[in-house]
Amino acid sequence: MLNAEKNRILTEVGPDTPMGGLLRRYWMPIAGTSEFTEEQTIKAIRLLGEDLVLYRDFGGRYGLIDRNCSHRRADLSYGFVEEHGLRCNYHGWLFGENGACLSQPYEDVAHPDNRSRERVRIKAYPVQEKGGLLWAYMGPQPEPLLPDYEAFSRPNGFVQIVISELPCNWFQCQENSIDPVHFEWIHNNWNIRQQGKRGPYSAEHREVDFEEFEHGFTYKRVRGDASKEDDPLWNIGRVCLWPNALYTGSHFEWRVPVDDENTLSICWTYTRVPRESEPYRQDVIPTWHGPIRDRDGRWISSHIMNQDFVGWVGQGVIADRTLENLGASDRGIAMIRKRYFEDLETIAAGGDPKGIIRDPALNHCIDLPNVYAQKMKEGASLETMLNDPIARRHLEDYIWQAGQPPEVKAAYLSAMGVPASRGAE
Ligand code: FES
Ligand SMILES: [Fe+2]
């Protein structure tokens, strides 16, 4: 249980709030690079309670600037890009990715000596590209390094990015990153019940454990009669990645705050192609938007992350932690809450919070705990994958989220060397 004040501190993300300050000290994934094309150059986006616009100009530069023009506040998501910068559609002021005003058409022509545009700036945040994602940094300078996780340079794989906007606070989503027991219920057993069966239920969690490491926490589990010794889910575990993600080895899930009441879920999934399809080089990492409601307005509950979403939105727009009752299964949740509060103290004392990387020598191909590391290194033949029930499911369906567009599925099956008719089975 948390008191109301602590709950407020953990969940507020605006520019002048403690957690807003903490989250702004990290690079946040905010979009897929493949969302931007010759025709699609501008995206209105709200992040950490700030209305912004993300664009790619004709020169290929990405910019993230204030949604409202510095002249008289017109909406820049209706502007248009130029070779360099984004131009307001109202009176043509042009802004660059560093916030400089590059042109004020009337002033430049009629009063060039005034050089008035040199006195104007617009709010602008740095953007970088990595892993098919666009990342923003909204914190104080000097900016830290954008983490170079090993997964981003993995060869021979098909990567896809799925984005959904959830109507709830980011922190209840992040608490799911250190919650082993939910898997047994909201995924395994609810699947059984959604199939119309009353049981038997899946293997019970016998023991869970949580450990802190440099880039976050790991959670470990043993279920049913599995032996601890050779269970990677006990020996290696999954990663609650600091400060706002889950990493399972095959995929990342970031929970990026839109504002106090909405969260951008950004999922990045890697699937290694069968050995027969190697070497494989992916030209474009597709980005698609996952629906969260069905036609009746109910939450979709067929896929793993959709099931998680049902859990999170069900906790309320901002979960009231004064009413909760934590058990032994929630020890990890208590640990991360404590760690965020310690980070807030570190920041108040002028230090860097957990996991910030500033030394380039430490930012090369960062290995995170990964239960699939060995399998991913070795690869497998198509036949082996089709004979393994889990690998086969991944080949035939995108199990994480509902709504994969047919063209992404077709590209995936083609990368895997699976005939399209097989994927539809
Ligand atoms: S409001 Fe943007 S140029 Fe005038
Ligand atoms: Fe889950």
Query: Does the Cβ of 91 fall within 6 Å of ligand 1?
Result: yes
Identify which ligand lies nearest to the alpha carbon of 101.
1
Contacts of 323 (CB under 8 A, 6+ apart): 1
CB neighbours of residue 3 within 10 Å: 10
pLDDT for residue 387: 94
C-alpha 268/C-alpha 162 separation (Å) is 7
Task: Give, using CA atoms, the residue closest to atom 4 of ligand 1.
Answer: 91
Q: Which residues pair with 238 in a beta bridge?
A: 219
pLDDT for 17-57, tens place per residue?
A: 999 999 999 999 999 999 999 999 999 999 999 999 999 99
Torsions phi, psi for 43 (to 5 deg): -140, 125
pLDDT for residue 64: 99
Please tell me the distance between residue 344's alpha carbon and the centre of ligand 2 in angstroms.
28
Please tell me the distance between residue 87's alpha carbon and the centre of ligand 1 in angstroms.
9
Please tell me the distance between residue 88's alpha carbon and the centre of ligand 1 in angstroms.
6
CB neighbours of residue 113 within 10 Å: 5
C-alpha 166/C-alpha 155 separation (Å) is 32
Query: Does the Cβ of 93 fall within 6 Å of ligand 1?
Result: yes
Identify which ligand lies nearest to the alpha carbon of 66.
1
Identify which ligand lies nearest to the alpha carbon of 400.
2
| Strands 50-56, 42-47: pairing kind | antiparallel
Please tell me the distance between residue 310's alpha carbon and the centre of ligand 2 in angstroms.
10
In three state form, how does the secondary structure of the chain look?
CCCHHHHHHHHCCCCCCHHHHHHCCCCEEEEEHHHCCCCCCEEEEEECCEEEEEEECCCCCEEEEECECCCCCCEHHHCEECCCCEECCCCCCEECCCCEEEECHHHHHHCHHHCHHHHCECCEECEEEECCEEEECCCCCCCCCCCCEHHHHCCCEEEEEEEEEECCCHHHHHHHHHCCCHHHHHHHHHHHHHCCCCCCCCCCEEEEEEEEECCEEEEEEEECCCCCCCCHHHHCCEEEECCCEEECCCEEEEEEEEECCEEEEEEEEEEECCHHHCCCCCCCCCEEECCCECCCCCECCCCHHHHHHHHHHHCCCCCCCCCCCCCHHHHHHHHHHHHHHHHHHHHHCCCCCCCCCCCHHHCCCECCCCCCHHHHHHCCCHHHHHHCHHHHHHHHCCCCCCCCCHHHHHHHHHHHCCCHHHHCC
For 264-281, letters b (16+ CB in 10 Å) and e give: bbbbbbbbbbbbebeebe
Amino acid of residue 148: D
Query: Does the Cβ of 80 fall within 6 Å of ligand 1?
Result: no
Query: Does the Cβ of 372 fall within 6 Å of ligand 1?
Result: no
Rg from Cα positions in the chain: 23
Tokens linked to 308 = 């998680």
Query: Does the Cβ of 69 fall within 6 Å of ligand 1?
Result: yes
pLDDT for 216-259, tens place per residue?
A: 999 999 999 989 888 999 999 999 999 999 999 999 999 999 99
pLDDT for residue 421: 64
pLDDT for residue 422: 58
Please tell me the distance between residue 317's alpha carbon and the centre of ligand 2 in angstroms.
19
Query: Does the Cβ of 88 fall within 6 Å of ligand 1?
Result: yes
Identify which ligand lies nearest to the alpha carbon of 175.
2
C-alpha 44/C-alpha 413 separation (Å) is 32
pLDDT for residue 425: 47
Query: Does the Cβ of 71 fall within 6 Å of ligand 1?
Result: yes
Give the CA angle between residues 186, 161, 372 to the nearest 5°. Answer: 65
Go through the domains of the chain in sequence order and give each one's CATH number.
Answer: 32-130 (2.102.10.10), 144-423 (no CATH)
| Cα torsion angle, 376, 380, 382, 387, sign | negative
Under a CB-based contact definition with an 8 Å cutoff, are residues 51 and 86 in contact? no
Q: Which of 32, 204, 211 is nearest to 127 (CA)?
A: 32
Query: Does the Cβ of 181 fall within 6 Å of ligand 1?
Result: no
Query: Does the Cβ of 95 fall within 6 Å of ligand 1?
Result: no
Tokens linked to 374 = 């060995």
Contacts of 308 (CB under 8 A, 6+ apart): 173, 176, 182, 186
Give pLDDT < 50 ranges for the chain.
424-425
Q: How many CA atoms lie within 13 A of 375 on its CB side?
A: 18
Question: Ligand 1: which of 75, 91, 108, 121 to mutate, judged by most atoms within 8 Å of the beta carbon?
Answer: 91
